[in-house]
Amino acid sequence: MKIKSILLGLSLATVSSIAASTASADTFKLAVTDVEGMERLLVEWGPFKDALEAATGDSFEFFAVPSRTAAAEALRGETVDFVVTGPAEYVVINKLTNATPLIGLGRPDYHCAIVVRADSGINVPEDLKGKKVAFGDIGSTSNMLCPMQVLADHGVDPVNDIEKIHTERNIAHEALKAGDVDAIGTNANSWLQVRNKETDLPYGFFKMIARSGDLPNDMIMVGAHVPAEKAEAVKLAILANKEAVIAGIVAHEENEKYSGMDLVAIDDSAYDYVRSMYSNAGYPQFDNFIGE
């Protein structure tokens, strides 16, 4: 009789423990700013969502956003809780919503560069005054804002001292190769992948005349409406299970840029350099998304 009572007590304790665990679990909405449509979210970020749920014990539901502005509005309206985004997007979203960085997605070799033809006679950024420079997507951290900041760091006003155009990376590369532009400002690692596919040019055909330091991380950011203790619990669970979470992020080839990444704790002050980028690009308020 005593054994039965003990077993019954243990069973009830187990049931109570499971019930308490279930009761403490939360359901959060998750968005990714550069992925449009639910289908792409499920395919490209589904393994990450699964890893996130396994790590935290919480449920995460995708919330598809058609634009960066929509992501900010969703955070402000408390219809999304966590957002995966980049440095340039974060600076604006933080200003509009007071959302904060939770976990940094540390990308290896994440920096930008100014590239010219080696035979151009252009040796330092100051030589680009009055010349044509191609940048990537308007508002991109590493393909526009960062290279413009690099020019500013070397005494070249990227708004008034150069003729700037915006185009896709491969097109910019071909334009530089043909001499149609004098330089390109680009994500250094991504451009090298394009350069390394060249088979008919000597390695020294191009040269980098300036580069940035490593850029602030992409991130998982959290809405201001999420209770601090909940956000902290999610952060600690991610860091405690980082290998599985990283595996989830890099599972799809579209996230190849994160190969070799780390997950790290971050602070808002790390993004002051990005705020400076906005100012030097002619957008000192950084309260709206450039090109959107």
All structural domains of the chain with their residue ranges: 26-108+216-280, 112-211
Q: What is the pLDDT of residue 282?
A: 87
Instruction: Report how far apart, in Å, the C-alpha atoms of 97 and of each of 75, 77, 79, 180 are.
Output: 7, 9, 13, 42
Least confident interval from 17-21, 61-65, 109-113, 276-280: 17-21
Mean predicted confidence (pLDDT) in 1-12 = 44
Nearby residues of 269 by Cβ (< 8 Å), 6 or more positions away:
none
Q: What is the pLDDT of residue 24?
A: 62
Structure tokens at 136: 């990537």
Contact call for residues 9 and 17 (beta carbons, < 8 A): no
Check whether 292 has a pLDDT greater than 80: no
Least confident interval from 64-73, 139-148, 186-195, 283-292: 283-292
CATH topology of domain 26-108+216-280: D-Maltodextrin-Binding Protein; domain 2 (3.40.190)
Mean predicted confidence (pLDDT) in 56-75 = 95
> What backbone torsions phi and psi does residue 181 show, to the nearest 5 degrees?
-130, 160
217-236 pLDDT, tens digit each:
999 999 999 999 999 999 99
26-108+216-280 with 112-211: one CATH topology? yes
Check whether 7 has a pLDDT greater than 80: no
Give residue 84's pLDDT band: very low, low, confident or very high (50, 70, 90). very high
Task: Give percent above pLDDT 70 in the chain.
Answer: 91
- CATH class given for the domain over 112-211: alpha beta
Q: What is the pLDDT of residue 1?
A: 44
Residue 4 to residue 134: CA distance in whole angstroms: 78
Give residue 133's pLDDT band: very low, low, confident or very high (50, 70, 90). very high
16-50 pLDDT, tens digit each:
334 334 446 799 999 999 898 999 999 999 999 99
Task: Name the pairing type of β-strands 59-62 and 27-32.
Answer: parallel
Q: What is the pLDDT of residue 25?
A: 77
Burial annotation 34-64 (CB, 10 A radius, 16+ → b, else e): bbeeeebbeebbebbbebbbebbebebebbb
> What backbone torsions phi and psi does residue 191 show, to the nearest 5 degrees?
-65, -40
Mean predicted confidence (pLDDT) in 117-122 = 97
Task: Compute the half-sphere exposure of residue 231: CA atoms within 13 Å on the CB side of its CA.
Answer: 18
Residue 275 to residue 73: CA distance in whole angstroms: 21
Mean predicted confidence (pLDDT) in 145-155 = 96
Residue 137 to residue 277: CA distance in whole angstroms: 15
226-281 pLDDT, tens digit each:
999 999 999 999 999 999 999 999 999 999 989 999 999 898 999 999 999 999 88
